[in-house]
Structure 1
Amino acid sequence: MNEFVVEEFSKMLSRIAKIPLVSSHPEVYEPCDDSFALVDALLADRTNMLQQKPSICMEIGCGSGYVITSLAVMLGDEGFVPYYIATDINPHAIRVTRETMDAHGVYAELVNTDITSGLEKRLARSVDVLVVNPPYVPTPEDEVGFEGITSAWAGGENGRSVIDKILPAANNLLSEKGWLYMVTLTANKPSEICLEMRKKGYASRIILQRSTEEESLHIIKFWRDSDSHLELKNLSYWSKLVGN
């Protein structure tokens, strides 16, 4: 990269680094290692996103607004203006996200809802970039769906209760060229998640892996790929044939 590009990129990174300091609330999950890992993964894939020129970018579970704001900042001033939309079941998160975005001069439609409830028909097959840092921590099932900050991390058995609801919603929302970026934990069994999405016709790739003192994180990128679905069908066919 030339000196001008390096300087501009450094300025963008500086702006993103300051986002967590803007607003907070005791019932809203503040940016942590998983949030930072997701934004780092998006930054690493930024060139591809710029080439894709997404029309609609969406976050499910916006929390503090760190991720959706970072995405809007990193895609800003590039000759196209995506429409940003973010959801969260926690009304306090909606307020904090609005304050975070306002402080950085970016805008998103913010919807207080559970995952994508009420938006399925309107956004069906139209989202080009979908980002999700889901509640992935393994917890008792009765902790899932609580209001407030618990909703940001309680994931039920294997941390999969909310993830397994998000995947079919993502399948409904993603456009033909759409990409899903999702944070997972080793305990969530990422290989099983990739297999489930493969059955729906998606290819996948771990674009970032990061270990912290408490957990091992994987950022997985999914995209529609008819060949993946065909390969799975062929594998199933040959498995049955060999079994017979």
Structure 2
Amino acid sequence: MYAPQQDTDLLLGALRDEPLPHGACVLDVGTGSGALAIAAARRGTHVTAVDVSWRAVCTARLNARLARLPVRTRHGNLFAPVRGQSFDLILANPPYVPTPDTGRPPHGAARSWDAGRDGRLILDRICGQAPDLLRPGGALLVVHSALRCPDRTLAHLRGAGLKASVTHRRTIPYGPVLRSREHWLRTRGLLSAPGQTEELVVVRAELPV
């Protein structure tokens, strides 16, 4: 787990723009510190926050208590802890940095950013599984780097019958993880644009009523 970054802030902006009725059911998957879950709870929604890291779950639980807001926290891998449930809104800020193959899964803080050889290991799982958890008229908001092919995200979600589009964008300097892997990424053709900035995008996908 690590402190919220600009991708979280961009997703918070998308959350503020989302029309949410009082009492809506919200899922924050990969909650980290719980910033998104708490922002949703402030709007009078019923929030479930999930993370694979026990440290993140405990941090999100503590932050919700400090904010005096009801957030149900669950430990587990992506949607496993909420299997069989449905939601009006799903929020996701998954890891999306391509990762050299070390022969072992990421651990510790690296689970917040390491995302397989093409950076889409978790993204593709979210695109494949989230539609089954949405109620009619419900929406998924997912943030990731434009370097990780937003068109592929849109194609996955549209293929599942959702109406999907990019709704928010922001250009930021490379963070420390991307800078540390820049040479490897360029060598593999995963980073071709000159300079050291990347664009973040929020994809919104809605299940038709």
Structure 1 length normalisation: TM-score?
0.72
Partner deviation per Cα, 1:65-118 (whole Å, 9 max, x = no partner): 111111212x13xxxxx3210110100001110111111111111111010114
Q: What residue in structure 2 maps to residue 33 of structure 1?
A: 6
1:114 to 77, 82, 99: 77
In 1, distance between residues paired with 2:25 and 2:10?
22
1:175 to 119, 122, 135: 135
In 2, distance between residues paired with 1:143 and 1:49?
43
Greater share of residues in strand: 2
Larger Rg: 1
Partner deviation per Cα, 1:191-226 (whole Å, 9 max, x = no partner): 111011111101112121000112210011101238
* Letter in structure 1 aligned against 2:7: D
Partner deviation per Cα, 1:127-178 (whole Å, 9 max, x = no partner): 1010000011111244884232111111112210011111222012111121
Which ranges of structure 1 fall in alignment gaps of 5 or more residues?
1-27, 77-81, 227-244
| Amino-acid identity (%) | 24
RMSD over equivalenced CA pairs, Å: 1.8
Aligned residues: 186
Greater share of residues in helix: 1
Give 1:56 deviation, angstroms.
1.1
Q: What residue in structure 2 maps to residue 49 of structure 1?
A: 20
Determine if contact 2:136/2:208 at 8 Å carries over to the other structure: no
In 1, distance between residues paired with 2:101 and 2:40?
32
Q: How does 1:56-205 map to 2 (within 5 A)?
A: 56-73=25-42, 75-76=43-44, 82-121=45-84, 123=85, 126-142=86-102, 145-205=105-165
Which ranges of structure 2 fall in alignment gaps of 5 or more residues?
175-197
Instruction: Give the number of the structure with larger relative contact order, counting CA–CA contacts within 8 Å between residues 6 or more apart.
Output: 2
List, as ranges, runs of 4+ consecutive aligned residues in structure 1 with deviation greater than 3 Å: 141-145
For the pair 1:221 / 2:184, whether they are aligned, the reply is no
